[in-house]
Amino acid sequence: MTTPSTTPLTLPRPFARCIAILAVFILSSCVSEPTESFRDLSVTLTDHRGQTVTFPDDYLGSPMIIGYVYTNCPDICSLITANVNQIEGLVRESNPDLAEQSSTDQPSYILMTFDPARDTPEQMAKYAASFNMADEPFHFLTGDSTAIQTVMERMRVRTSVSYDTVNASGQRVYFLSHSDKIYLLDEDASLVYEYGGSMTTPTMMANDLSNEL
């Protein structure tokens, strides 16, 4: 073999090894995990217009904002819903050319319930209307409990029953402790960002969504 001192282009062993180790280290840090995709979920749900939909299939092709709520929750969930509403307004304002594109090219703004027992499509419709969000591009999704459970598990949205009482008129009243999340998915239903749903400023989420357009 040549000696290092006479062939400047050949690296001495310790350096070569060092570079190899460095390469492995750097590469492993950036190819660690594939992007989390929800594309294969293909779950059948119902929107607040009473339409049967397949999630996420029917919404592919443009980015999605998804908030997780239940309608019997006036504080945190209302805040999440109001945030999604505000994101839509901000994105529309800052992307005036969106208006000229077909509805399939518009981002989808989805509110999905994790309380399907109470949140029927009719209930979701009333809830949407009370926030002036009954029309496109808003979609309030519910479904049978198995379908919802499948989605929530995959999306890591957790719930547990708290505050369970029977009121004076004999009706069961219960609240849920729940994850506080809004997701931004890209046009292929891969997760771009996961936000604290009630705590994140709509401006920040709207900017992130605009960057996906």
Partner 1 sequence: MKFFTTKAFFALFFSAVVLLSACQPSDSEMNKNPKMAPSTPEVAELTATITDDAFVVDGAWARVGMQGGMSAAYFTISNGLDQDDVLLGATSSVAQATEVHETYDAGEGMMGMRERESLPIAANSLTEFRQGGLHVMFLRLTEELSEGDEVQFTLEFENAGDVTVTAPVRMR
If you search the block for the tokens 């309608």, which residue do you land on?
Answer: 71
Shortest Å, Cβ 109 to partner 1: 15
Residues that bind partner 1 (CB under 8 A): 4-5, 8-9, 11-12, 15, 18-19, 22-23, 26-27, 29-36, 71-76, 78-79, 82, 85-86, 126-127, 129-132, 158-160, 162-163, 167-169, 173, 175, 177-180, 186, 190-196, 198-202, 204, 208
- How many angstroms separate the CA atoms of 37 and 100, rounded? 29
Measured from the CB atom, is 117 or 173 closer to partner 1? 173
In the chain, the amino acid numbered 132 is N
Q: Amino acid identity of 44?
A: T
By beta-carbon proximity to partner 1, the closer residue of 19 and 117 is 19
C-alpha separations of 132 from 80, 100, 107, 116, 166 in Å: 14, 22, 18, 21, 31
CB of 30 vs partner 1, minimal distance in Å: 4
Closer of 97 and 135 to partner 1 (Cβ): 135
Q: Crossing angle, helix 76-94 and helix 202-212, to 10 degrees?
A: 50
β-sheet bridge partners, residue 139: 110
Closer residue to partner 1, CB minimum distance, 44 or 211: 211
